[in-house]
Structure 1
Amino acid sequence: MLIENLKLFLRIVEKGGLAAAGREVGLSPATVTDRLAALEAHYGARLLTRTTRSISLTDEGRELVTGARRILAETEETEARIRLGVEKISGTIHLSAPSDLGRNQIVPLLDRFMTMNPEVAIDLSLSDSYVDLVGRGLDLAIRYGELSDSTMKASRLGENRRLVCAAPAYLELNGTPLHPVELAHHNCLVMRFGSNTDQDWSFVIDGEKRTCRVRGNRIADDGDLIRQWCLNGHGVAFKSEWDIRDDLETGRLVELLEDFTPEPSALQMVYPAGTVQPRRVRALMEFLSKKFVR
């Protein structure tokens, strides 16, 4: 029963409430409450702080999320090895990726991986915003940039270079900026990450890393939409090279300010530290590391 209560606890955290978790698994609110109380009694600690509108994890609850994921992963893998044999990989992999990179690079690789492993299911979240892996119950995330969260581990996929680009039609009408400061006179397509807008673009000017503030009449939290706006000639974008590589090769987009482009950052697979990754997740990570086009 402890294993089932741990599963229910993680479902409560993932769904953000007891009632929503109960509906997901077909349990009444009273039953969910009783089973949560039994789990808290088992560990001798309050796991959730509840209000009429929301729940939040206590310190003990956050610790249990990590521990429960590890316990359930080990249990599931043991059952899979016994029932299906050591050569088979099965179960659901929950992962997150940036929208452009996910659609254009990750999804085709996932399709190939699932063809090779037909008993694997994929639950993919495409988002350019920060995603809480533990809170969302994710096994893995593909992220740009260096890892700063000590509760996470990372495995490097490659390097990521961000560059300024625009469509030839836009440049014909508005001219080509030759220095980052000239972006102040151009319509720049701005990404929003959560509540923050990416209006300070980084460059290397006179050997030093500097930022230039940009503005424009189009802001979005979806990198694929920024790319489409750029392709349609609506403005200048600051995009990952992974997202527009084909557009640059075909001439649909033109790289700008190449002499001022900053050093590449990392493209990484990120996962919670202290957890035992199921065999299917380890297999996917190994597959992506080998197949990802650098």
Structure 2
Amino acid sequence: MLLENLALFLRIVRHGSMAAAGREMGLSPATVSERLAALEAQYGTRLLTRTTRSLSLTEEGRALAEGAPNLLAEAEALQSRLRDGVTHVAGPIHVSAPSDLGRNRIARLLDRFMALHPGVSIDLHLSDGYIDLAAQGIDLAIRYGALADSSLIVRPLAPSARIVCAAPAYLERHAPPEHPEDLHRHNCMMMRFRGEVDRAWPFIIDGKPRTLLLSGNRIANDGALVREWCIEGHGIARKAEWDIVEDISAGRLIPLLRGFEVAPLRLQALYPKGRAQITRIRLLLEFLVAEFAGQAP
């Protein structure tokens, strides 16, 4: 009965109306009131503030509204396992990833995961900018670098150096830089993050960190496009190692100035609290951890 009452509570929240939720579930107004009262008694607190004209969530009600979907999803998965006698993983997973890494690596890994679990569906959001995971309904995000939102849980996947690189065609026309200062004489293609152009490239020079402000004639907020420009020989780029490891192996890109690199960034999985308790999301997370561990550049 608790799960049924939770489902009713979520319908009330979604509709903003006890009567509408009751009609959807085929329950009388009296029954809806009784079940809501039973749920509040179960948790020992008021969940909704009710007036003749409106409903509003209490703080406790808001917390339950955020956590109840996970409880119901887990209960459904458990019921399926008990009913079918097998581990059955199904349902949607909303994933976010950087554009270049998402297209060239994450998408392939998701294909393999879905082949293992045909009942899973994937909604992949590609973006190199900041997104609000909760507002966008994202279950799992793959990101480089420091964590901005302290409410998210972090699972490290792998280190990833940022590599200065260029195509052989570009280096045939321009002498390769031997020192970071030489980049001032080159066309350096930039990424734009959150409206800011990434002109400041960090290096370790003479054992000390130093940042150079560079320039070029191509800027984009899409890492995949910057990589394409680089492969086409339009200039020099600074790309995450995971984005270009295959291009380097195939000779499409040449790494430069590796002796001056700063410490690698961390590639990591981020997810809202409670998401990893959902079986399909936990299995995807473990799958990604294992895959990146076995594919270190």
- Give the TM-score band, short-chain normalised: 0.7 to 0.9
TM-score when scaled to structure 1?
0.78
Amino acid at match of 2:196: N
SS of residue paired to 2:106: helix
Q: Answer with 160-169 or 146-155: which moved more.
A: 146-155
Structure 1 unpaired stretches of 5+: 10-40, 46-57
Give unpaired runs (5+ residues) of structure 2: 1-7, 17-45, 51-56
CA distance in 2, matches of 1:171, 1:87: 54
The alignment partner of 2:146 has SS state of coil
Is 1:98–1:127's contact at 8 Å kept on the other side of the alignment?
yes
Identity %: 47
Do 1:97 and 1:143's aligned partners in 2 also have CA atoms closer than 8 Å?
yes
CA contact (8 A) 1:89 1:119 kept: yes
Structure with max Cα Rg: 2
Report the counterpart of residue 246 of structure 2 in structure 1. Answer: 246
In the TM superposition, what is the alpha-carbon distance from 1:5 to its structure 2 partner? 4.1
Per the alignment, residue 185 of structure 1 pairs with: 185
Amino acid at match of 2:107: V
Q: 1:202 and 1:129 mapped to 2: Cα distance?
A: 20
Deviation readout 1:137-167 (Å, 9 max, x if unpaired): 1111001113343211111111010010001
Question: How far apart, CA to CA, are the structure 2 residues paired with 1:149 and 1:98?
Answer: 17
Q: 1:176 to 1:276 in 2, by over 3 A?
A: closer
Separation (CA, whole Å) in 1 of partners of 2:125 and 2:142: 10
Partner of 2:48: 43
One-letter amino acid of the counterpart of residue 101, structure 1: L
Q: How far off is 1:44 after superposition?
A: 3.7
Report 1:134-173 matches (<5 A). 134-173=134-173
Q: How does 1:60-79 map to 2 (within 5 A)?
A: 64=62, 67-79=64-76
How far residue 276 of structure 1 moved from its aligned partner, in angstroms, is: 5.7
For residues 202 and 211 of structure 1, what CA distance do their matches in structure 2 show?
4
TM-score by length of 2: 0.78
> Which residue in the other structure is 1:237 paired with?
237
Distance 1:260 1:199, change over 3 A: same
Provide the alpha-carbon RMSD of the alignment.
2.4
- The 5-angstrom pairing of residues 7-46 of structure 1 reads 43-44=48-49
Alpha-carbon displacement from aligned partner over 1:168-193 (angstroms, at most 9, x marks no partner): 11112122111112212211110011
Who is 2:196 aligned against?
A: 196
Alpha carbons 2:165, 2:237 under 8 Å: kept: yes
* Distance change (3 Å), C-alpha of 1:235 and 1:60: farther
CA contact (8 A) 1:73 1:276 kept: no
What count of residue pairs does the alignment treat as equivalent?
A: 249
